[in-house]
Structure 1
């Protein structure tokens, strides 16, 4: 997507986009020069930031594998999905459960253009353009209501989305509460979120730096939350233990059922995102 002159309708190719920067960090091609310039500016101040994007994607993949394999989930609602890239939700889930159905939602017009392309390749995948901070637009969507069976468990994903809220700090909790209230018993909630570092952890400066990077750039509205605040987004759902013999808890993404032993300490970018998976009783 290097040709700004042929940008899809509604897309401003001269203003950086969160979704397109994230796509660039993951090695995707759906981004413009302004996105690459913004990413370069961020790299100058925090060179490890691409690791945060990769860890977030790896967490998403592990969570989907768990849900499709051990939890037996065959329905997924990805809220704030971002641009299609390698290892999307439907690709991971359908390798395990070929019958798995997925609905993607995002408010970004460029995501809409690429999301609709998914429909051409996969009959079990749908896309809607909607804002996660207006839950009714997703939950009451005819596509969502008809494509998913609301008498069976559904996994709802808020992966690296809720920390982009620009308003009151409590608003994301209201969003997840509304989704959980409407979901059938046995459904799951998957969340990853920028975490406020524990005092003395050594990461306080990095998170402050990230906030400043965002504040002074073309992106706005990133809010870090404490571990307890992220836990509150799950509203008492049964958190899945993040590892063998581990207590149910929100943890840094590298610590949630890693694919193997961590052979070196996580860098600061790998420590600033936390999350978990919760089951609605």
Structure 2
């Protein structure tokens, strides 16, 4: 197997990666045969997976637009993946904002491509780190240098928490990031779900939980996703199916069985603020 020029030497090309598999769903070209083979197994069980990935990106765009309208100008994109059209800073700029964005991922290819793409853009920065360690991420000099944590920050956990098992305390991870931000900050979450008996989504989850999976998947229902938020205050319409979160055009009844949930929540005011 020839190594493409864009692939860092330390990357294992024989094992699939969540970031590269997602890149393949989105029609990207920065993936290997192992990623495509794994993704094709998921697509065999859930043929709509590519459309689901696109809908998830559309939710991210709507959420960023809403936050910009609320005056938020700083974004912490956790598990940001491989840059594609519609990155957070592009969306925020299209909304008329002058954003500062920190992209965080632990995939070497995602980090390398982000740094190459964003070179010379002082409003963006890239951090190689594991999102499951909020204390380390928030204390990192790159975070402190790029984001003003005395001002509101939007913490983006888009399509990543379903790869965090219960044993890693996903609610604690959300709490760790929210607690390190200023009042007026927000947390944005989208999460895979087979709620309502979505059997195709359940079968796709089983593919992720077999051998040679890039990460095991833990789907959660509305009650479980709500519990991840702790004392954060969901903005209208709360925890809903992804297409139903502030849609820009009418959606059909099938949206009620969509295999994913979305929410934007605001950090609670602290005593004395």
Unpaired segments of 5 or more residues in structure 2? none
Partner of 1:215: 209
CA gap of 1:126–1:5, structure 2 versus 1, over 3 A, is closer
Alignment of 1:254-273 (within 5 A): 254-263=243-252, 265-266=254-255, 271-273=258-260
Partner of 1:152: 151
Offset of 1:37 from its aligned partner?
A: 1.8
- The C-alpha deviation readout for 1:42-73, integer Å capped at 9, x for no partner, is 2222211112211111111100011012x111
Partner of 1:44: 44
- The C-alpha deviation readout for 1:100-137, integer Å capped at 9, x for no partner, is 10000001111111111133152200000000111122
Offset of 1:3 from its aligned partner?
A: 5.0
Contact 1:196 1:227 (8 Å CA) reproduced? no
C-alpha distance in structure 2 between counterparts of 1:115 and 1:231, whole Å? 31
Partner of 1:173: 171
C-alpha distance in structure 2 between counterparts of 1:121 and 1:51, whole Å? 33
- Relative to the length of structure 1, the TM-score reads 0.89
Secondary structure (helix, strand or coil) at the match of 2:118 reads helix
Per mean C-alpha deviation after superposition, the further-off stretch among 271-280 and 112-121 is 112-121
Offset of 1:195 from its aligned partner?
A: 2.2
C-alpha distance in structure 2 between counterparts of 1:251 and 1:266, whole Å? 10
Aligned residues between the structures: 266
C-alpha distance in structure 2 between counterparts of 1:35 and 1:215, whole Å? 15
Partner of 2:227: 232
C-alpha distance in structure 2 between counterparts of 1:99 and 1:211, whole Å? 38
C-alpha distance in structure 1 between counterparts of 2:252 and 2:218, whole Å? 31
Partner of 1:206: 200
Partner of 1:192: 190
- Relative to the length of structure 2, the TM-score reads 0.91
C-alpha distance in structure 2 between counterparts of 1:123 and 1:98, whole Å? 15
Per mean C-alpha deviation after superposition, the further-off stretch among 138-147 and 158-167 is 158-167
Alignment of 1:26-41 (within 5 A): 26-41=26-41
CA gap of 1:54–1:167, structure 2 versus 1, over 3 A, is same
Unpaired segments of 5 or more residues in structure 1? 243-248
C-alpha distance in structure 1 between counterparts of 2:222 and 2:256, whole Å? 19
